[in-house]
Amino acid sequence: MALWHDRAGKLSPLRIFVLLGLFAPAVAFIVDVSFRGDRPPPEMSVAIHHAGDWALRFLLISLAITPARQILNWPRLIQVRRMIGVGALAWALSHFLLFGIDLMFDVSKVLEEVVKRPYLVVGFAAVLILAVLGATSFDAAMRRLGGKRWRNLHRLAYVAALLGVVHFLLQAKFNVSGPVMMAGFLLWLMAWRAFDRRGAPPGFAVLIGLAIAVPLLTAVAEAGWYAWKTPAPPLRILLSNINFEAGARPALWVLTGAAIALAMFLVAKMLKPAPAAA
């Protein structure tokens, strides 16, 4: 079955859209490198960062498919979850490959670098988990493992995402806005999952609770990090979330994401109200 076909063998616009989305960041990068005018070519580190960013983004997007599917009441979204997860693996492997190219494929140098830096050990662990999940993402592996064992194994995607966020945080030199924002999104996804395991899918009350609690925790985590690593007063960092003196803080992006989830829930409910009790 071609990647752009659904299980019934029909052309799937949703799968085509997602497939194009997975390649789009690579095309954008190649276009940027090819048409630079007077600008000098980017350094290899720019490509490494670009691939790392997209590996983590696609990994979190793959984890967001189940909540989105339930919130939007759109079961067919499941058709693209595996594709996005494998896409995240491909971006993570490209990120690792570019790191290897930067070191001229000197395997002993690559291993030496990885072992010496904790953030690389963490990234390496994340790649290994993603590779295991990728290798067992096919129907045959699912059948061989059995549904329950397969689902338990694939929960490791949360561990890989957590390691990806820690790796992102540890490699950041000073500005931790990106990793803190990703940590906030991951916290929302994990909290949603925790509520989802209690029977019925999370409803309005859970979504509103998450939209308040997760951005607040994100803001506190950010202030805590700077308080630990720099002499900046934590209160000033917390207040920057409401006075915007340093631009939009990670908590605001997390709040935006949580508010979008809530809005999607309300719109889906309006369009498809639950059947009235007999």
Answer yes or no: are the C-beta atoms of 184 and 251 closer than 8 Å. Answer: yes
Minimum CB separation from ligand HEM for residue 20, in Å?
21
DSSP structure class, residue 4: T
The least distance separating ligand HEM from the CB of residue 6, rounded to whole angstroms, comes to 28
Binding of ligand HEM by 77 (CB under 6 A): no
Q: Does 95 bind ligand HEM (CB under 6 A)?
A: yes
Of 48-56, 235-243, 251-259, 260-268, the segment contacting ligand HEM by CB under 6 A is 48-56
* Pick from 16, 33, 37: nearest CA to 79: 16
Nearer to ligand HEM, 185 or 195 (CB): 185
Residue 181 binding ligand HEM, by CB under 6 A: no
Segment lying near ligand HEM (by CB under 6 A), choices 52-60, 70-78, 142-150, 186-194: 52-60
DSSP letter at 5 equals B
**Which H helix or E strand runs over 191?**
helix 177-196
Given the complex with ligand HEM, which of 52 and 87 has the nearer CB atom?
52
* Among the residue ranges 21-29, 47-55, 202-210, 228-236, the one whose residues contact ligand HEM (CB under 6 A): 47-55
> Is the separation of the CB atoms in 180 and 170 below 8 Å?
no
Tell the residue number behind the tokens 């002499």, with chain if given: 231
Q: Are 187 and 217 in contact (CB under 8 A)?
A: yes
195 binds ligand HEM (CB under 6 A): no
Does residue 55 bind ligand HEM (CB under 6 A)? yes
The binder of ligand HEM chosen from 87, 164, 202, 257 (CB under 6 A)? 164
Contact between 49 and ligand HEM (CB under 6 A)? yes
Residue 20 backbone dihedrals phi, psi, to 5 degrees:
-65, -40
Distance CA 70, CA 272 (A): 12
Q: Compute how many residues bind ligand HEM; rule: CB under 6 A.
A: 22
Q: Is 167 in the site for ligand HEM (CB under 6 A)?
A: yes
DSSP string covering 139-163: HHHHHHH-HHHHHHHHTHHHHHHHH
Q: Tokens for 46, please give them.
A: 């720019």
Q: Which of residues 97-136 bind ligand HEM (CB under 6 A)?
A: 99, 114, 120, 123-124, 126-127
Question: Dihedral of CA 142/143/147/149: which sign?
Answer: negative
Q: Does 185 bind ligand HEM (CB under 6 A)?
A: no
Give the Cα separation of 195 and 190 in Å (integer).
Answer: 9
Q: Which whole-number Å values give the CA distances from 168 to 56, 79, 174, in the listed order?
A: 9, 29, 12
Query: Is 177 one of the binding residues for ligand HEM (CB under 6 A)?
Result: no
CB of 184 to ligand HEM, least distance (A): 15
192 lines the binding site for ligand HEM (CB under 6 A): no
Q: Which residues of the chain form contacts with ligand HEM (CB under 6 A)?
A: 45, 48-49, 52-53, 55-56, 59, 92, 95-96, 99, 114, 120, 123-124, 126-127, 164, 167-168, 171
